[in-house]
Amino acid sequence: MSGNANATLTFKLVAEKDCTVTLSAAVTGRRQGARKFTAGFVPTVNGVEVVSDAIVPQGEQSTEWTVSYRVTIGEIHLKAGENTLTFTVPESAANTTDASNFDYISIMSMFGVTCTSSWLS
């Protein structure tokens, strides 16, 4: 997804009941320095932007495309049933070092949540 403005990664999350969960993502760190997660990926849940101050740490030149760092984005609210979680590379990240490789997401919940994903361009 790195540098590809408007590229999206979409997850369908199915929650057994209305709940608040903790969302994390693993992305690669860039050698040019630490950066805000939202500078490279704009997360939305059901069309509403997720506000986050999460920082992706600086990576090493030799591993910047292969070593992922888990970043806690924050709490998100899910409604009972199907929810859409989307990560979009913003226009401002095109051809910059703000976006990077996207490895996985993690959802921590006290309730049942299932997940499927798809690439969209």
Q: Is the pLDDT of residue 120 over 60?
A: no
Residues 6 or more apart whose Cβ sits within 8 Å of residue 72 = 22, 23, 24, 54
- 98: tokens are 């703000």
Short-list 114, 47, 105, CA closest to 80: 114
Q: Is the pLDDT of residue 121 over 60?
A: no
Q: Cα–Cα distance between 34 and 99 in angstroms, integer?
A: 11
What are the pLDDT digits (tens) for 12-60?
Answer: 999 999 999 999 999 988 878 889 999 889 999 999 999 999 999 888 8
The pTM assigned to this predicted structure is 0.87
Beta strand 81-88 with 55-56 is unpaired
Domains of the chain, first to last: 8-116 (2.60.120.260)
Short-list 105, 28, 99, 96, CA closest to 68: 28
Short-list 21, 22, 12, 24, CA closest to 81: 12
Q: Identify the band that residue 119 occupies on the pLDDT scale cut at 50, 70 and 90.
A: low
Write down the pLDDT at residue 118: 63
